[in-house]
Amino acid sequence: MHQDLKNKLFQEEAMTPSNPKWEFAITRVGKLYQKEYESRSEFERDYNRILNSSAYSRLKHKTQVFYATSNDHVCTRIEHVNIVASIAKTIARSLGLNVELVEAIAFGHDLGHSPFGHHGERIIAEIMMEENFPQPFWHEKNSLRMVDYLETLPNYYGEYDNLNLTYAVRDGIVCHCGEVDENSLKPRDKFVELQTMNKGQYMPFTYEGCVVKISDKLAYIGRDIQDATIYGLFTKKDFAVLKQIAQTFTKEQVKLKQINPTSLIYQLVTDLCQNSNPDIGLTFTKENYELMNQVKHFIFEKVCMNKRLEPFMDYASLVIRTIYKFLKNYYAGMDTISYLKRDTKLYPTLIVDFRKWLIKYSNIDLDLRKLRKYNNKVIYDIEDINDYKQAIIDFISCMTDKYIMRVYHDLIAL
């Protein structure tokens, strides 16, 4: 008999106008333009702004686990985001939480991922450490940087403004890391300045943010198995280990030749919805929490660290470091644009696009900014070499796998 999982136990905790934290949650840094008639909620508007952003579109050509995949059935970052949203909405509906908030956080949570996935993230972090940047690079914080400063949409006057999302959505994005190391998640009560946050410092401000945090982990442990199987990364011994993990924690999997990723996610989502309550937070049973962690460990060891990925990791390091060094060498203070323009014919795509980037986000040509209707925040002082280096890092972090490979090959082609 079908069992209804919609217990709605978290209705009073949902981020709605009756929640004591509501006014903080819907706060925006700047004023968002208003239509005469607006049928959407604050979080629905955020979802629409994220969905229509260029950063969201680029996710379809960004690595999830397998770099620059040409296989139509292997997960890219945009599919991962959609899977996270699907899982999170299922949990939110069951528990009585705000589905619109969950959806906005889920669709925005990975906008700051670099090209080449987590390996690209590590390379950029290494460069920033070597160059003595004041803050380290981590993709959750970069996602916040993306929605706060780098991504823009045209307003009614055709001017390009920053997204200006609500606090609850921005918070869920920067606190989304799926590395859940404790089996009980509750939101924090404290309202903190998000741009000053350190990695892993705080739990999300809302239960909806906590749901996305868990869903991020569930999404990748399910889909990574499926994709690794498509690429033939598992040996017979690996499949035997997966089967043993399944047999240990659930009777339903015993007769299967291997663990079923979709059934695994269903089991964990069901377990979470059945065992969570506001007193203890979002919680799995001890057995299913252990199941989740064992599968996660297996994926890290057999997929993420697979030797077949090493050649591409070396290539990715070469590509990112080469482009960073190439653009850094053009720095000449307020004359940087002129130096870049000099080599436009040699490197038309990279040089032209980076010049546009500097004009949009720096003070290098304020008249041209105005002419192009850039109303977004100026975040780089071009007379500061450190700001210029940050501009390169931001520019690279926005690139897709396809784009960065194309401009790299433009650099080495004679």
**Structural domains present in the chain:** 11-111+151-305 (1.10.3210.10), 308-412 (no CATH)
Percent of the chain scoring above 90 in pLDDT:
69
Backbone angle region of 216, left / alpha / beta, with phi > 0 → left and psi within -120 to 50 → alpha: alpha
Span 107-116, mean pLDDT? 95
Whether residue 247 is predicted with pLDDT greater than 60 in this model: the reply is: yes
Contacts of 344 (CB under 8 A, 6+ apart): 351, 352, 355
Whether residue 226 is predicted with pLDDT greater than 90 in this model: the reply is: no
User: The pTM is what?
Assistant: 0.94
**pLDDT at position 2, please?**
43
Whether residue 353 is predicted with pLDDT greater than 90 in this model: the reply is: yes
**pLDDT at position 251, please?**
57
Instruction: Return the minimum-mean-pLDDT range out of 10-14, 107-111, 137-141, 254-258.
Output: 254-258
Higher-confidence residue: 377 or 414? 377
Whether residue 216 is predicted with pLDDT greater than 70 in this model: the reply is: yes
Task: 374-379: list long-range contacts, CB under 8 Å, 24+ apart.
Answer: 374/152, 374/159, 374/160, 375/155, 375/159, 375/160, 375/161, 376/149, 376/152, 376/160, 376/161, 376/162, 377/149, 377/162, 379/149
Q: What are phi and psi of 374, to 5 degrees?
A: -85, 105
Give the pLDDT confidence of 167-201 residue by residue, as tens digits. 999 999 999 885 556 678 999 999 999 999 888 88
Going by C-alpha positions, the residue among 121, 62, 124, 114 that lies closest to residue 321 is 124
Instruction: Return the minimum-mean-pLDDT range out of 37-41, 66-70, 92-96.
Output: 66-70
End-to-end CA distance of the chain: 68
The label of the residue with tokens 């190391």 reads 181
Span 158-172, mean pLDDT? 96
**pLDDT at position 227, please?**
85
Higher-confidence residue: 97 or 176? 97
Contacts of 392 (CB under 8 A, 6+ apart): 324, 327, 328, 354
**Tokens representing 390?**
């940050």
